[in-house]
Amino acid sequence: MRMILFLLYLFAEVTITLPIAWALGVFYTFLEILLSAVFGIVILFNTPFTIKDSFDKITQNRLSAGVLPLAVIVRIFAAFLLILPGFLGDTTAIILLIWSVILLVGDKVHSDKAEDVIDVEVVEDKK
């Protein structure tokens, strides 16, 4: 089953990459593959720092712990897709990176709104 899925992915990747590479030319296709791989490696190396920063936000109650594992897994998978050559993988990786950012930022906005509670005491003035 895994082999069939891999072959389907490979077929889709080649089917999409060839026309785009033909339109861009050899140099720009090579440049895109090289830059996306470098970008994927940078994301992979920066992931521990992102995790540490997220743990700091969790301890400060600025981020919930439930969203962090999914965001990190999505980020790592996107980095691996960027390292692999091909336009389908790069497009999927960009979508996954945007999703990861939305998970973290959306949760931060949600937790910030939850902290904006004002405690009020009503005192009646008896005259």
Do residues 96 and 74 make contact, with C-beta atoms less than 8 angstroms apart? yes
Please choose, from the candidates 47, 42, 69, the residue with its C-alpha nearest in 3D space to the C-alpha of residue 58. Answer: 69
Ranges in the chain, pLDDT < 70: 107-122, 127
Do residues 88 and 17 make contact, with C-beta atoms less than 8 angstroms apart? yes
So what's the pLDDT on residue 8? 94
Give residue-wise pLDDT tens across range 37-53: 999 999 999 988 888 88
The residue to which tokens 């920063």 are assigned: 53
Burial of 43: CB neighbours in 10 Å, binned 0-12, 13-18, 19+: buried
Domain ranges of the chain: 39-112
Length, in residues, of the chain: 127
Give residue-wise pLDDT tens across range 1-16: 889 999 999 999 999 9
Query: What is the pTM (predicted TM-score) of this model?
Result: 0.76
